Amino acid sequence: MSRIVILVGSMRKGGNTDLLVHSFADGASKNNIVELVSVADYAE
């Protein structure tokens, strides 16, 4: 089991990049520990 950190650089939550990242994370989380870090959470 590996630990995967996904950095999401898109500011649009719910956009195409966000959907793609969540789809990848869902698949990867079956055998790994996955953490998502989004810049949208840290934007002012």
User: Distance between CA atoms of 15 and 1, rounded to whole angstroms?
Assistant: 29
The per-residue pLDDT for 38 is 93
The per-residue pLDDT for 2 is 95
Domain locations in the chain as residue ranges: 3-41
Residue, of 4 and 12, whose pLDDT is higher: 4
Q: Is the pTM of this model over 0.75?
A: yes
Residues 6+ apart with CB under 8 A from 8: 17, 18, 21, 36, 37, 38, 39, 40
User: Distance between CA atoms of 6 and 24, rounded to whole angstroms?
Assistant: 10
